[in-house]
Amino acid sequence: MPDFDVFVIGAGSGGVRFARIAAQNGAKVAVAESRHWGGTCVNLGCVPKKLMVYASEGAEAAEDARAYGWDVQLGAHDWSRFIAAKDKEIERLDGIYKSMLGKAGVELFVGRARLIDPNTIEIGPGPLDEQAEPRRVTAKRIVIATGGRPTRPPIEGAEHAIISDEAFHLKDRPERICIIGGGYIGIEFAGIFAGLGSKVDLVFRQDLPLRGFDRELREKLHEALPHHGIAVHAGQSPERIEKLGEGHYRVSLGNGETIETDCVFFATGRKPNIDGLGLDGVGVAVKDGAIAVDDQSATNLENIYAIGDVTDRINLTPVAIAEGHILAEALYTGHARSWSFETTPKAVFFSEPLASVGLTEEEAAEKADIEVFTASFRPLRQTLIGRERKAFMKLVVERESQKVVGAHMMGDASAEMMQGIAIAITAGLKKIDFDRTIGIHPTTAEEFVTMRSPTRQVARKG
């Protein structure tokens, strides 16, 4: 008789949800966590990042308030006070995750877990308990939910750079920072540090930031970056980082250009946490560095499953949660609820946030003839401020079916708006449904229901 019905490795977004739902449905569940309860999102991801975004908005908010008649004098930002307040909140959340699991009846193991055989797990020392004596337990099923970690490009001097984990705990805010990578993390932290007053250099390999997003949206972001005081080095990779002194570095780019800075930050992608899990020994199949699973999150071994970033499907918290929820219901209730992963909305919390759902214009045009509706205008709020900042909104419609298959936006509150638009797109609504919806006036959001004539028609390219 195994010790547990199911053993979960990793108490992040996916593992916690799986464990709770499985326990609520009668399974005897254990979770091992080596580093922090709640995982990346709570401790080194979404939540502290969003708190940093809020912190970075203060200077502009003060400027805006002045434009609206307030006598606001902007003082200095106290980085240490902010970091301490943020850490206190994260500690509180960490505790909530831990107690939530305990209350659900899940047995908690502190330490790094690895597979000994398909039913045996060893939990050894990890960052949360470096002295832990290795213990072995058995389980009928195992769920691997170990997430991912930041990568460092193998260049000379790479050890001088920080990664996102460290960006949350810098002792001082760097006056100058050079961020490498134009993906989610690079763009969000460029906005954060620029908003707080740092001089930001942003280096990325492609001609435009945010690979994978709608090309027109990427172009709008590219145009906006310099207006936030961000110096953009597109189409470049760093070749070497030299330490010139304490907190003083030189980054050499492929084109011979050099950047002197106080901090180099690699935001060059993440990779699944599979090292040291004992996958090879047990025979769990890995593909491109991620655990290979089918659409039921099953690995090649019949009692072992994997969910979340360790499978490198859609690496977002709500997706890891949904995968955990579905798997727990499928195993312990027999009737799993379903989610529409293909219409997963996404947002990049830059100073002018970007959000998207569904197909990009380029993807849609591969499948069918399309109509593209766009709007670009100065939101009412910006008028008194006098800032030349425009919101950009876009709907992609399949010409024949008239279904809205994609929506994209850059501008204030785009992430908040896109959640609602995602419901419409998930429901398969047509452009006429958007058109017959009454707007809320005066808002930016009303533009999504008032775009009447297509900006362009695009014939199928595929």
Ligand X SMILES: NC(=O)c1ccc[n+]([C@@H]2O[C@H](COP(=O)([O-])OP(=O)(O)OC[C@H]3O[C@@H](n4cnc5c(N)ncnc54)[C@H](O)[C@@H]3O)[C@@H](O)[C@H]2O)c1
List, by residue number, the catalytic residues.
441
Nearest to 451 by CA among 408, 389, 419: 408
- Choosing from 164, 198, 343, 414, the residue that interacts with ligand FAD (CB under 6 A) is 164
- Choosing from 119, 268, 273, 311, the residue that interacts with ligand X (CB under 6 A) is 268
Nearest to 205 by CA among 236, 242, 168: 236
Query: How far is residue 278's CA from residue 265's CA, in Å, rounded to a whole number?
Result: 31
The residue (of 119 and 268) whose beta carbon lies closer to ligand X is 268
Give the 3-state secondary structure of residue 461. Answer: coil
Compose the 269-298 pattern: x for residues touching ligand FAD by CB under 6 A, - for all others: ----x---x---------------------
The residue (of 192 and 277) whose beta carbon lies closer to ligand X is 192
The residue (of 174 and 308) whose beta carbon lies closer to ligand FAD is 308
Query: Quick check: 49 binds ligand FAD (CB under 6 A)?
Result: yes
Q: Candidates 35-43, 135-143, 331-339, 447-455 — which segment interacts with ligand FAD by CB under 6 A?
A: 35-43
**Where do we find the tokens 């213990």?**
135
Give the 3-state secondary structure of residue 339. Answer: coil
Count other C-beta atoms under 10 Å from residue 296's C-beta.
12
The residue (of 45 and 191) whose beta carbon lies closer to ligand FAD is 45
Q: How far is CA 412 from CA 114, 191, 223, 242, in A?
A: 45, 14, 16, 38
14 annotated among ligand-binding-site residues = no
Burial (Cβ within 10 Å: 0-12, 13-18, ≥19) of residue 435 = exposed
Q: Is the Cβ–Cβ distance between 72 and 66 less than 8 Å?
A: yes
Q: Is the Cβ–Cβ distance between 98 and 37 less than 8 Å?
A: yes
Query: How far is residue 95's CA from residue 83's CA, in Å, rounded to a whole number?
Result: 18
- Choosing from 18, 109, 265, 349, the residue that interacts with ligand X (CB under 6 A) is 349
Compose the 304-323 pattern: x for residues touching ligand X by CB under 6 A, - for all others: -----------xx-------
CB of 331 to ligand FAD, least distance (A): 17
CB of 125 to ligand FAD, least distance (A): 11
- Choosing from 23, 39, 209, 448, the residue that interacts with ligand FAD (CB under 6 A) is 39
| Residues tagged in the binding site annotation for FAD | 50, 309
| Residues tagged in the binding site annotation for NAD(+) | 181-188, 269
